[in-house]
Structure 1
Amino acid sequence: MEESRQVNLLAIVILSRGKCGLSTCTTFYLVGMATADLLVIITQVILNKISYYYFPVCFLDITPVCGINAVLVAAAKDCSVWFTVTFSFDRFVAICCMKLKTKYCTKKTATLVLAITSIFLVSKNIPNYFTNEPGVIIDNVPWGCKQNPTAFTDPRWVGYNWFHKVLMPFLPFILIILFNALTVRHILVASRVRKGLRGQNKAEHHNDPEMESRNKSMVLLFAISGSFILLWFVFVVNFLYYTIGGLVYLTYLEFTIQQVGFLLTDINCCTNTFIYAVTQSKFREQVRKAMAYSVSLITKSMNKQNN
């Protein structure tokens, strides 16, 4: 996971420079997604799971700290998911809604959308802090976090939990599939119309810069969205099965599938950078330049030390 953290940092730096041939608003959304993914890795994987295995008792286990970390984990994962939704919607508008594109697909709008989404998702998860209570108190210091029993019976908390479940992951999953389906439909229709207008047939091939640009945008969109759908699919199916069935006790197989779903959602936060590298030639070029620059700095440093 240390490698994943470094890869996400590299992606943030490269994308922030704006030299990958992407529009400003697309770059903003990709930087936002990479930042959210990095926060998930830090809060969920490093502070939560790694500390649990290697530092079973530390200050992170103090109840207030544990509660804050739980809020940060949930907020970071929510941002990672919903930034993917906002990116999918932005690409849908850019490809399918030409009249709205000039007003919506701008740096200002992207900044505003990401800021409002972040504030809303962090605020939404703050109540989670108050559902925790200490597992044990040692020398007047509360340790551990366990959910207060009233969270399962109080109608207000039950309503909040359902609100939380609808926003994560059910609604984002549906929205991403919907936006991608509408985008594919529009591209297929537009492609047939443009081929008809250009008098294109099987024996003729004409370069169409607009369609090539759309195809590149489509590849990036579908690679990111498709990866999200595949890696969240197990979690969503398990969520529906668990919720609809009203299961309280899980069999060993059900528990294993549940843990696999959690693992895949964490992996989702490590894949976007590799997707950029596979689908974007200019991103790969910037990575090569960054690597060459790093090697050059190391070589110069070593030469100075030897001299």
Structure 2
Amino acid sequence: MSLGYLIKLKILWALNDVQKIYYPFVAAVGVPLNVVTIVILSRGKCGLSKCVTHYLVAMAAADLLVVIIDLILRQIPIVYRDQFLFLLHVRICNIHAILLYAATDCSVWFTVTFTFDRFVAICCQKLKLKYCTEQTATVVLGTVTVLSCLRNFFWYFLYTSEYWLSNSPWFCRVTIGVSRSLVWAIVELIHYILTPFIPFILILLLNALTVRHILVSSRARSRLRVRSSGESPSDPEMENRRKSMIVLFVISGNFILLWVLFMVCSILRRLDYLGYSVSLPTFVPEIGSMLQLLSCCTNTFIYAVTQRKFREELRNGVKYPLAMVVKLIR
């Protein structure tokens, strides 16, 4: 046994010990954070348009489902598999797979649709009045949800109904004939290209176009204001665009940063089935999965940092139960 192999094995064992703390912690934090985010945004007191609020609430709801379906019902039983051996005899894994992949698709594509909405609002003023509305947001989000469920229904037939906790990738049992078939490799490769490879490309492209538009229009508005007033006073319109840009870029940048390793590992693993072997240490995909799941808990912090009114609502939400407790004590 080579020294390199021993090192990789020790890293994997250490990572497994970390996951026993990491996954329960992320689940314990992710559920209340997303619930609080949904409640605060739904109240409509954060100074955001109803259109933006719809997207952010949908993103938080999808993240909450991923935390429950993936972290609580999958990852935690994996790292504590000795205590969850009963799952070997549970016959609902293929249904679980549909729910898991559909929720993940919604989480990813809601981010894309929000990015596109902000692109239209900032760069396409004529289309903005028709597209950036509460009704359009509802239709778009509903369409994405339905398509995500329909697209992932085929897992019901590819996976068996039983869990498989004694071999990688620690999920639904798959027959050897299916797992080694070309059809399986192509289906999984397409799956990971659609989510999250294409969303990556779309988000990067839309953000690049948005930045370009903001920079060009900012220079033009500055020149016009200087010519008309002889000085460069504050511009409320550009200030609003700047705030929208900050929220957009932080959300999409956070998504890309936390998903990129998972995406690369997933695609490389599926290419291996097609004969294009790229060797990665086992712990690398595990780290990618850990980061990907962390993305379901970070948007609340982003809103708290970038949105003053969201911070105020969050502060009021914390103060209210404390005030009620003090009142009852007195």
2:145 match: 118
Residue identity over aligned pairs, in percent, reads 48
* Residues 145-183 of structure 1: per-residue CA shift (max 9 Å, x gap): 311334346665555334312211110111110110010
Alpha-carbon separation, structure 2, partners of 1:183 and 1:78: 24
CA drift of 1:114 comes to 0.5
Alpha-carbon separation, structure 2, partners of 1:30 and 1:301: 35
CA drift of 1:109 comes to 0.6
2:92 match: 65
Please list, as runs of the form range in 1=range in 2, the aligned pairs for 1:43-54 lying within 5 A after superposition. 43-52=69-78, 53=80
Cα distance, 1:207–1:200 mapped onto 2, change above 3 Å: farther
Stretch deviating more after TM superposition (241-250 or 268-277): 241-250
- Within the alignment, does 1:30 sit opposite 2:30 as a pair? no
1:218 match: 245
The normalised TM-score by structure 2 is: 0.82
Give the secondary-structure state (helix, strand or coil) at the position aligned to 2:45: coil
Tell me if structure 2 keeps the 8 A contact 1:96–1:183.
Answer: yes
1:257 match: 284
Tell me if structure 2 keeps the 8 A contact 1:151–1:158.
Answer: no
1:128 match: 155
Tell me if structure 2 keeps the 8 A contact 1:63–1:133.
Answer: no
Stretch deviating more after TM superposition (147-156 or 284-293): 147-156
Stretch deviating more after TM superposition (191-200 or 62-71): 62-71
1:184 match: 211
- Within the alignment, does 1:5 sit opposite 2:18 as a pair? no
- Within the alignment, does 1:107 sit opposite 2:134 as a pair? yes
Alpha-carbon separation, structure 2, partners of 1:249 and 1:133: 27
* Residues 253-304 of structure 1: per-residue CA shift (max 9 Å, x gap): 521111111111101111111000010000000001111111122223444x
Please list, as runs of the form range in 1=range in 2, the aligned pairs for 1:86-97 lying within 5 A after superposition. 86-97=113-124
Q: Which amino acid aligns with 1:94?
A: A
Alpha-carbon separation, structure 2, partners of 1:68 and 1:108: 31
Cα distance, 1:122–1:61 mapped onto 2, change above 3 Å: farther
Cα distance, 1:151–1:100 mapped onto 2, change above 3 Å: farther
* Residues 203-231 of structure 1: per-residue CA shift (max 9 Å, x gap): 94411111011001000000000101111
Cα distance, 1:22–1:77 mapped onto 2, change above 3 Å: same
Tell me if structure 1 keeps the 8 A contact 2:159–2:172.
Answer: yes
CA drift of 1:134 comes to 5.7
Alpha-carbon separation, structure 1, partners of 2:321 and 2:278: 50
Stretch deviating more after TM superposition (29-38 or 145-154): 145-154
Cα distance, 1:167–1:270 mapped onto 2, change above 3 Å: same
Q: Which amino acid aligns with 1:299?
A: V
Cα distance, 1:4–1:206 mapped onto 2, change above 3 Å: same
Give the secondary-structure state (helix, strand or coil) at the position aligned to 2:44: coil
Alpha-carbon separation, structure 1, partners of 2:94 and 2:329: 46
Cα distance, 1:240–1:68 mapped onto 2, change above 3 Å: closer
* Residues 120-143 of structure 1: per-residue CA shift (max 9 Å, x gap): 10111111122122669xxxxxxx
Give the secondary-structure state (helix, strand or coil) at the position aligned to 1:39: helix
Give the secondary-structure state (helix, strand or coil) at the position aligned to 2:297: coil
The partner residue of 1:56 within 80, 84, 87 is 84
Please list, as runs of the form range in 1=range in 2, the aligned pairs for 1:251-290 lying within 5 A after superposition. 254-290=281-317
Please list, as runs of the form range in 1=range in 2, the aligned pairs for 1:155-234 lying within 5 A after superposition. 157-199=184-226, 204-234=231-261
1:141 match: none
**Where does structure 2 lack aligned partners over 5 or more consecutive residues?**
1-26, 164-170
CA drift of 1:20 comes to 0.4
Q: Which amino acid aligns with 2:111?
A: T
Tell me if structure 2 keeps the 8 A contact 1:9–1:38.
Answer: yes
Alpha-carbon separation, structure 1, partners of 2:140 and 2:319: 36
Alpha-carbon separation, structure 2, partners of 1:63 and 1:149: 20
CA drift of 1:73 comes to 1.3
